[in-house]
Structure 1
Amino acid sequence: MLGQHVLFLDGEALVIDKPAGLAVDPPRAGGISLENHLASLTFGFRRWPVAVHRLDRDTSGCLLLSRNPKAHARFQQAFEAHQVTKRYVAILDGVPDAAEGVVDLPLAKVSTAAHGWRMTGDPRGKASRTVWRVLAERDGRALVEFRPETGRTHQIRVHALEGVGRPVTGDPVYGAAHPGGMMLHAIALTVPRPGKPDIIAEAPWPDRFTAMGFGAP
């Protein structure tokens, strides 16, 4: 049940704090996904809400769902027009050489029989840009804020590794697995709505970050 994870709710929008480990789309191999929880997120509507964007299964935090088709179309247009403000926090394996910066690295999908698919920097790929800054350092790791200006698949994870030079702690694809999981959290989301108040949501600080010694800055 995700009713206790609601961060924002009105007649056309719903933002939840998606738990790490919950897939947004049903996994090909089967298993629980967001779809299994939608009936508990109707809040008086007959129609089930629909996810407007995606978070990776192991990423927690702010996920926007629409409550009707017209709102869904408007929200999708806002994402496509880069009008949505997204803020993530991540723990990186290692401390970046700089305190802040901008990663402007196009991304493309590559696939091999041995390792499956992944994203990588490629000048022929889709434009991808992320602003970042270090918030704290501890025990050879860094807490970093990421503000993606585009929304490519695995964008922050690849930009952390190939742009900042340090992988996200616990990233099973671009780094090394960690018992606490992947340390990436979508902490804040703002979606503009012409003629209506903005959708503004902020997710609670994740316990797995605190367990690694990084409290909320």
Structure 2
Amino acid sequence: MNTDTQNTKSQVKLFEVTDNHSDQRLDNFLITYLKGVPKSHIYRIVRKGEVRVNKGRVDVKYRLVIGDIVRIPPMRIAEANDVVFVKQSLRDALQQGILFEDDGFIVLNKPAGFAVHGGTGIDSGIIEGLRVIRPDAHFLELVHRLDRDTSGCLIIAKKRSALRKLHEFFRTDQVQKTYLALLAGQWARKKLVVTAPLLKNINKGGERMVVISQAGKEAETLFRRLRLFADATLVEASPKTGRTHQIRVHAASLGHPIVGDERYGLNDTNKHFKNKGYNRMFLHAETLKFEHPSTGELMTFSAPLPQQLQSLLQHEQQV
């Protein structure tokens, strides 16, 4: 039941969560519900406590539960014909990047350089772009996330039941994930499991950092060397857990950060590779393997390495 009054734009609205929005993140719900309201404003009113759930303050990552009462402060909601701006380059990439689709979910080859959703300073991301190019779709929600500069396999649910099942798979580590990463320097090992726990932290500049700390959450990544170059190492990274920036931080802990990683890498190293043509972080979500949420069939999805990265590797001197 929706208890808000659509015509009273100047009044507080109370929205009761039904099955249609259960398990949805608060920020994604608000972005969809408050069409035309800038993403930065939505994140601001949540941070300030103007949006409340069951009369209490919550984080934007809070997942809605059936029966929750969401308080939405007074604001002018844009008219229905307002359009979210989506770059043509993103539209084209989305149209060409579908790896698999059925009535339950989409597997997309996400292009690098685009956030998975809009937020502070970002008008639109992958999910907003999909909703624009598919205006008749009744339900499109992110199942998981990839960093802005990471390319590769990304799952979008097309119905609530698929979203719930796939969320459960990710929470219980039933999704096998394999990434390709180019590490700076020659990594001497052929194989290694890193189990350093990770803690989210905020540095002085307000930028979110993840650090290795015994106070953090358990994290496990298997690194396997694929090819050794004169000043870099191509590896396969298989994270058993799904912590924020997990592969990036674990790679840096080896003394071999990912090429192009502006947050956890080294400035001189990144500059060296940038001069060679590496203009993005070399991290690619190559494969996903999980059971189909409806049929139970084991499925494997693969996203080819972007041509730009393939070309750069061909010019590396192999050892």
- TM-score normalised per structure 2: 0.63
C-alpha distance in 1, partners of 2:314/2:285?
Answer: 16
Provide the rounded CA distance (Å) in 1 between the counterparts of 2:168 and 2:308: 33
Matched to 1:20, the amino acid is A
Distance 2:285 2:206 in 1: 27
Residue deviations 1:159-201 (CA, integer Å, cap 9, x gap) = 1001x32000000100144342100000001121363323421
1:20 and 2:20 correspond: no
Matched, 1:36 2:128: yes
Q: Secondary structure at the match of 1:190?
A: strand
Alpha-carbon separation, structure 1, partners of 2:132 and 2:95: 7
Aligned match of 1:10: 102
Runs of 4+ in 1 over 6 A off after TM superposition: none
SS of match in other structure, 1:200: strand
Q: CA deviation at 1:109?
A: 1.3
Q: Match for residue 158 of structure 2?
A: 67
Shift of 1:139: 2.6
The amino acid across from 2:255 in the alignment is G
**One-letter amino acid matched to 1:152:** R
Give 1:79 deviation, angstroms: 0.4
1:196 alignment partner, SS class: coil
- Distance apart, 1:46 and its partner CA: 2.7
Once the two structures are TM-superposed, the CA of residue 124 in structure 1 deviates from its matched residue by 1.2
Q: Is the 8 A contact 1:61 1:203 kept in 2?
A: yes
Matched residues, percent identical? 35
Query: Does the CA contact (< 8 Å) of 2:117 and 2:124 recur in 1?
Result: no
Distance 1:108 1:188 in 2: 26
Name the counterpart of 2:263.
173
Find out whether 1:191 has 2:290 as its counterpart.
yes
User: For 1:45 and 1:66, how far apart are their aligned partners in 2?
Assistant: 15
Q: Which structure would you say has the larger RCO, counting Cα contacts within 8 Å and 6 or more residues apart?
A: 1
**Alpha-carbon offset, residue 40 of structure 1:** 5.6
After superposition, the C-alpha distances for 1:35-59 in whole angstroms (9 at most, x for unaligned) are 33113664x9632421100000000
> Residue 84 of structure 1: CA displacement?
0.2
Question: Could you say which structure has the higher helix fraction?
Answer: 2
Q: Structure 1 residues 214, 90: CA separation in 2 closer, same or farther (over 3 Å shift)? A: farther
2:302 is aligned with 1:202? yes
| Greater share of strand | 1
- Whether the 8 Å CA contact 2:180–2:284 is kept in 1: the answer is yes
TM-aligned CA deviation for residue 111 of structure 1? 1.7
Structure 2 gaps of 5+ residues are 1-90
Other-structure match for 2:311: 211
Whether the 8 Å contact between 1:3 and 1:40 is mirrored in structure 2 is no
Decide whether aligned partners of structure 1 residues 39 and 192 sit closer, same or farther in structure 2, where only a CA change above 3 A counts: same
CA distance in 2, matches of 1:133, 1:99: 6
**In 1, Cα distance between the equivalents of 2:178 and 2:313?**
21
Counterpart Cα distance in 2 of 1:94 and 1:115: 30
C-alpha change, 1:41 and 1:123, in structure 2 (3 Å) is: farther
Query: In structure 2, what is the Cα distance between the partners aligned to 1:45 and 1:9?
Result: 16
Structure-2 residue corresponding to 1:119: 210
Is 1:130–2:130 an aligned residue pair?
no
Aligned to 1:54: 145
SS of equivalent residue, structure 2 residue 129: helix
Task: Tell which structure's C-alpha radius of gyration is larger.
Answer: 2
Query: 1:170 corresponds to which letter in structure 2?
Result: G
1:103-128 CA deviation, whole Å, 9 max, x = no partner? 00110012222462200111110110
Q: Structure 1's 205 and 84: CA in aligned 2 closer, same or farther, altered over 3 A? A: same
